Amino acid sequence: MANERCRVALFVLIVCTFAYAAVYTSLPAVSVNPCAQTLSRALLAVTGLDPYVVSCAADDGVSTPLLSDGGHDKINAGRVGGPIVTDLLQYRKPEGPDFPEDLQCCPPMPTSEPIDFTLPDPSEPLRTRRPAHVAGAEYMAKYKRAIALMKALPRSDPRSFYQQANIHCAYCTGAYVGHPELAVQVHFSWLFFPFHRAYIYFFERIAGKLLGDPGFAVPFWSWDVPEGMRMPLQFANASSPLYDPMRNPWHAPPKLVDLDYTMDVVENNYTDDEQIKHNLWIMYKQMIRSAPLASLFHGQPFRAGETDKPGAGTVKLQPHNLMHAWVGDLLSYPNAEDMGAYYAAGRDPIFYTHHANIDRLWDAKTLRTLIGSTPHAFLFYDEEARLVRITARDVLDMDKLRYTYHGVGLPWLDARPPTTPNVKYRVKNRIEKPVMFPVTLDNVVTAEVRRPLILWRQPKRATQEEVLVVEHIQTDGICKFDVFVNAREHKKIKPCGREMASQHAKQYDTKRGTNHHEGGTELETIKSDILKDLGAEQDESVTVTLVPRHEKVRIGGVRIEYNGM
């Protein structure tokens, strides 16, 4: 009888193990009936594939086309899991706790329907974007004149600097709505890279048109390269169109950028050599160690009927966010305007050089194909002031877009940070007190997190990644917190230390209402070499320590999941 019970127990264990693995590797998508919501009447405007809008007013659930797209396939724009759509005719005022009362960022209404994007002629001059710190006076003078010409255009002109800045405002503040409960947000998902590539592409072509120079290319601020780790001098001249008074005065040249900026009044006391070394370590961590999977680098899928913040990629969180905060003035302005706030970032001419560098890093990572799996699309005005619909798939190949980057090298490729000496990673046989999530992270929180059975009993040569998932991160403003693994003595570990699993840094965002999905899921990797460094490859669980660095944040939970390579 005892043997029989053992056989039954073993069978149950095996079944549960396979079921457990299946749950962790194939979670179903959230299902929401789109006709339970009110859809706008012109969602067509940015889908690229979705040819008409649907009305869900009828009780019979039958979709009625309201606006023709001139022959595209008839696909329901509101379907769950499909492309997210935005609409120039469906605009709402951005909602933020400290936003200006008169804030409006909707673009001018077109006189005709948008045209589909077509790639430039292959015979066009190849535009070469150069690093601002070595571009030369003549090159930077062209960018200065382009900004001056954009600023001189009437505000009603969609090519004006005012309207170009509004593009970022509209796509980042919930001004566009795909579903009543889902505002379009391009910063916390895989939309981040393709949207900003398209944004800089059209901005650059408008500048070239105004200059009468079709070969003009936007400079890029190569803050990941030691020689470029200072704000370019041309942006610090108060009489220049490139100047923005709403910047942190403490970070003007020759101050070195801090890719781990804590957003506090007290600056670090690193020497220049130490700051450069730490910046390179952080670049290695975000570009290499923390992003072995395409989904971790790009961010998570953004799909209709789900959440507007499914999870940002590594580079978006850091250094992208922290560079915005480093330039913006958190001390003088409530939302760290201009660069530190989503709605205002495009008002600073340095924004476009910053994002040109982000685009360069995307190209360097060479993990672009994931974005093409879902045809999300955006609206931009081109150099002829025509409204153009462009999809994420259209921007995957820089050569076809006819631009490239002047090489400055990737000095962080081999900048692997060292482990911290004399640190206790775990206290043997110590069991952490259970943490009841959700928690407000106003103090350090340490939780014991079990690893899926398939991970700590895996064959040594198995190829997979463990991903630490910090769920439902919610905050109303700028926040930052660190995530450590098996690091009881986390105070001894520097921000770029290999014991740190990740950092979460967020710019100022809109404050959402109760009917909105608040906070997304941020994925951070626990890579196999980190576990090896910590001697935890065969442990059943790890301790995860969450350390607040700036402002309070609410955490919904922590778990470890399995991702195949």
Q: Using one digit for the tens of pLDDT, what is the confidence trace for 104-141?
A: 888 888 888 889 999 999 999 899 999 999 999 999 99
* 369/458 same-domain check: no
Confidence of residue 326 (pLDDT cuts 50, 70, 90): very high
Q: Which of the pair, 483 or 512, is modelled with greater confidence?
A: 483
Cis amide prior to 214 (ω within 30 degrees): no
Q: Residues 333, 474: one domain?
A: no
432 in any annotated domain: no
State the CB neighbour count (10 A cutoff) for residue 29. Answer: 11
Query: Where does the pLDDT of residue 309 fall: very low under 50, low under 70, confident under 90, or very high at 90 and above?
Result: confident
What pLDDT, on the 0 to 100 scale, is given for residue 58?
A: 29
Indicate whether 488 pLDDT > 80: no
* 410 domain residue, yes or no: no
Q: Based on the domain organization, do 137 and 199 belong to the same domain?
A: yes
Are 389 and 499 in a shared domain?
no
The CA distance from 423 to 498, in Å, is 12
- Do 361 and 299 fall into the same domain? yes
**Residue 80 located in a structural domain:** no
Q: What is the per-residue pLDDT across 62-98, written as a single tens digit (0 to 9) for each?
A: 322 222 222 223 333 445 566 666 667 667 778 666 6
Our CA dihedral for 453, 457, 462, 463, rounded to 10 degrees, sits at: 40
- The domain boundary, picked from 357, 379, 405, lies at 405
449 shares a domain with 371: no
304 burial (CB, 10 Å; 0-12 / 13-18 / 19+) is buried
Do residue 233 and residue 178 come from a single domain?
yes
Classify residue 41: in a domain, yes or no.
no
The number of distinct structural domains making up the chain is 2
Q: Is the pLDDT of residue 35 over 60?
A: no
Tens-place pLDDT, residues 376-387:
888 899 999 999
Nearest to 183 by CA among 437, 525, 510, 438: 510
Residue ending a domain, among 379, 405, 431, is: 405
Cα distance between residue 439 and residue 472, in whole Å = 11
Alpha helices in 285-413 (DSSP H): 294-298, 314-315, 321-327, 350-365, 398-401
Looking at the fold, whether 398 and 502 belong to one and the same domain comes out as: no
Please tell me whether residues 191 and 328 are part of one structural domain.
yes
CATH assignment at residue 548: 2.60.120
Q: Is residue 322 part of a domain?
A: yes
Which whole number is the average pLDDT over 196-219? 97
More confident residue, 484 or 364: 364
Calculate the average pLDDT of the chain. 76
Q: Contact at 8 Å (CB) between 492 and 523? A: no
As a whole number of angstroms, the distance between CA 251 and CA 176 comes to: 34
Tokens of 416: 């692997």
Last residue of a domain, one of 383, 405, 427: 405
User: 375 and 475 share a domain?
Assistant: no
Average pLDDT value for residue range 357-367:
88
CATH of the domain at 365: 1.10.1280.10
The pLDDT value given to residue 425: 62
Would you state the pLDDT for residue 230?
Answer: 98
Over range 309-314, report the average pLDDT: 84
Tokens of 57: 């007013």
Give the model's pLDDT for residue 328.
Answer: 94
Q: How far is CA 482 from CA 297, 355, 401, 494, in A?
A: 18, 24, 38, 11
Q: How is 302-317 classified by DSSP, letter by letter?
A: --TTS-S-S-B-HHII
Rg from Cα positions in the chain? 24
Q: Which residues does 485 contact at the CB level (< 8 Å), separation at least 6?
A: 468, 499, 500, 501, 526, 530, 531, 534, 536, 542, 543, 544, 545
Establish if 59 belongs to a structural domain: no
Asked whether the predicted pLDDT for residue 427 surpasses 80, the reply is no
Q: Are residues 165 and 257 in the same domain?
A: yes
Report whether pLDDT(510) > 50. no
Structural domain harbouring 341: 87-405
Residue 369's pLDDT band, with cuts at 50, 70 and 90, is very low
User: Tell me, what's the pLDDT at 240?
Assistant: 97
Q: Is the pLDDT at 322 greater than 80, yes or no?
A: yes
pLDDT of residue 564: 53
Q: Which residues pair with 481 in a beta bridge?
A: 504, 548
Q: Is the model's pLDDT at 529 over the cut of 70?
A: no
How many CB atoms are closer than 10 A to CB 162? 18
Claim to verify: residue 112 and residue 254 sit in the same structural domain? yes
Residue 186 lies in a domain: yes
